[in-house]
């Protein structure tokens, strides 16, 4: 075997350098030949070596979209539904590391006599690493506290429909540039840990709303359950959901090009559904570590310990991995179904009015009277349009008042 001399390495190095210089000159000549004598010439990316081609520039499109999206910010609306005392407010504070309900006053005992479901909307702006999120949390105090709970899910259903209707009107109006999206993108439905499955109230609520919002059922106060009880309750809940044909949020399938770590994480999220969660606003010190948890005589339950509960998995799904998919499902599935129903109803009303007008014109027979009837219909349409404009002005005024109460919190 012949030994290589230092001169051989130097000659190979010089050859590579010469090839690189020639390649740069070829690319420069190719760019220069695009414009010759003031006339644009057609050119193609020149092949430099092997499969390497000249850089065109459209690969920066994702970066452009990223910069524009970060500048505009993101919106997300989360609805939390469940009985009083299941820890809804505590869980929201733990998820977004904030005190969203710091100004809440204790409820007067006289108000508990009338067990009615209310809608409380709170909006705040969170900023993390230069990314702004406008978070809206819709709470439902009083849900399920009355003997007759039929009104509970009607209030939630009406609020979701109202937001769809408002977005549809804004989208159909003249000013479509600054449409504010207040549609509910996800509904966390809290299920109590006692019992052996879903109650009639849970089934009825989810059957009413599963076509209109992304339902994510969670088991509240999971620290009262053992691991076996938790597993059995999850299995019974999924059986009840399947038996009643309830469509809860389904995780999308992973793309083949995703890495193994993401696929493993997605499989763990699917296996842990529905999530059994614990919330806490207290920071404790355990073995030299500061953790969020609950202190008991027998030990400490850590909120972010995956052996204790599924809080980390819920936060990963809701914020880190599937927030955009929840918004896409709201836009492409739930809102499109609502929009299709609205358009079909408008078409049916227009057909009925045309048929009625034609029948009335045939009854009159005289063209002059038919023209008068048409003028009356036009005036009626103008009055309805004026009323619509007044309603839009009131909605804009209410939006400006609501935006004045928003608070900015930096994470």
For residue 274, cis peptide bond before it (omega within 30 degrees of 0): yes
Using an 8 Å Cβ cutoff, are 254 and 272 in contact? no
**Does residue 38 have a pLDDT over 60?**
no
**Which pLDDT band holds residue 153 (cuts at 50, 70, 90)?**
confident
Percentage of the chain surpassing pLDDT 70?
A: 75
**Does residue 279 have a pLDDT over 70?**
yes
Six token digits for residue 172: 């159909």
User: What pLDDT does residue 188 have?
Assistant: 92
Q: Which residue's structure tokens are 């034609």?
A: 358
**Does residue 215 have a pLDDT over 50?**
yes
* Residues 6+ away with beta carbon under 8 Å from 389: none
User: What pLDDT does residue 187 have?
Assistant: 92
**Does residue 54 have a pLDDT over 80?**
no
User: What pLDDT does residue 147 have?
Assistant: 63
DSSP codes of every residue in 219-284: ES-GGGS-HHHHHHHHHHHHHHHHHTT-----PPPPPTTS-HHHHHHHHHHHHTPSEE------EE
User: What pLDDT does residue 62 have?
Assistant: 77
**Does residue 112 have a pLDDT over 70?**
no
**Does residue 20 have a pLDDT over 80?**
no
User: What pLDDT does residue 186 have?
Assistant: 92
User: What pLDDT does residue 32 have?
Assistant: 44
Asked if the 67-100+114-253+270-333 domain carries CATH number 3.40.50.300, the reply is: yes
- The whole-number average pLDDT for the span 160-189 is 85
pTM, full prediction: 0.69
User: What pLDDT does residue 116 have?
Assistant: 62
**Does residue 409 have a pLDDT over 50?**
no
User: What pLDDT does residue 214 have?
Assistant: 92
User: pLDDT tens digits for 87-104?
Assistant: 888 888 888 877 766 666
DSSP 60: G
Burial class (CB in 10 A: 0-12, 13-18, 19+), 284: middle
Give the count of beta carbons closer than 10 Å to the beta carbon of residue 362.
9
Instruction: Calculate the CA 273 to chain-centre distance.
Output: 18
**Which pLDDT band holds residue 317 (cuts at 50, 70, 90)?**
confident
User: What pLDDT does residue 50 have?
Assistant: 47
**Does residue 294 have a pLDDT over 60?**
yes
Using an 8 Å Cβ cutoff, are 410 and 127 in contact? yes
- The whole-number average pLDDT for the span 237-245 is 91
- CA distance from start to end of the chain: 65
**Which pLDDT band holds residue 408 (cuts at 50, 70, 90)?**
very low
* Most trustworthy range by pLDDT among 30-44, 204-218, 359-373: 204-218
Q: Which residue's structure tokens are 């190095």?
A: 13
User: What pLDDT does residue 143 have?
Assistant: 80
Percentage of the chain surpassing pLDDT 90?
A: 6
**Does residue 43 have a pLDDT over 50?**
no
- How does the average pLDDT of the chain come out, rounded? 76
């Amino acid at each position: 075997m012949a030994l290589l001399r230092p001169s051989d390495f130097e000659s190979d190095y010089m050859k590579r350098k010469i090839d690189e210089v020639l390649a740069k000159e070829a690319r420069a000549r190719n760019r220069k030949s695009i414009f010759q004598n003031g006339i644009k010439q057609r050119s193609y990316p020149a092949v430099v070596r092997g499969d390497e081609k000249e850089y065109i520039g459209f690969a920066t499109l994702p970066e452009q979209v990223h910069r524009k999206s970060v500048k505009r910010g993101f919106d997300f609306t989360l609805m939390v539904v469940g009985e009083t005392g299941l820890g809804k407010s505590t869980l929201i504070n733990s998820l977004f590391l904030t005190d969203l309900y710091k100004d809440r006053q204790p409820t007067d005992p006289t108000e508990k006599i009338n067990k009615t479901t209310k809608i409380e909307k709170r909006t705040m702006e969170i900023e993390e690493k230069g990314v702004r999120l406008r978070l809206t949390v819709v709470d439902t105090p009083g849900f399920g506290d009355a003997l007759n709970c039929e009104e509970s899910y009607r209030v939630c259903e009406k609020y979701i429909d109202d937001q769809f209707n408002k977005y549809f009107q804004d989208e159909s109006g003249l000013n479509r540039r600054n449409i504010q999206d207040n549609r509910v993108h996800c509904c966390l439905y809290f299920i109590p840990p006692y019992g052996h499955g879903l109650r009639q109230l849970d089934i009825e609520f989810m059957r009413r709303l599963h076509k209109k919002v992304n339902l994510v059922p969670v088991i509240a106060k999971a620290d009262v359950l053992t691991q076996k009880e938790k597993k059995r309750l999850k299995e019974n809940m999924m059986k009840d959901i399947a038996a009643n044909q309830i469509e809860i949020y389904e995780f999308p399938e992973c793309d083949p090009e995703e890495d193994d770590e993401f696929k493993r994480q997605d499989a763990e999220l699917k296996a842990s559904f529905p999530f059994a969660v614990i919330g806490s606003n207290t920071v404790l010190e355990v073995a030299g570590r500061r953790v969020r948890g609950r202190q008991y005589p027998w030990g400490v339950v850590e909120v972010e310990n995956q052996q204790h509960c599924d809080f980390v998995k819920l936060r990963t799904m809701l914020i880190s991995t599937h927030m955009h998919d929840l918004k896409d499902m709201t836009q492409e599935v739930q809102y499109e179904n609502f929009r299709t129903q609205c358009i079909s109803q408008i078409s049916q009303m227009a057909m009925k009015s045309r048929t009625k007008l034609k029948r009335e014109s045939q009854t009159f027979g005289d063209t002059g009277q038919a023209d008068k009837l048409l003028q009356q219909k036009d005036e009626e349409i103008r009055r309805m349009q004026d009323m619509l404009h007044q309603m839009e002005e009131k909605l804009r005024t209410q939006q400006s008042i609501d935006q004045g109460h928003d608070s900015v919190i930096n994470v």
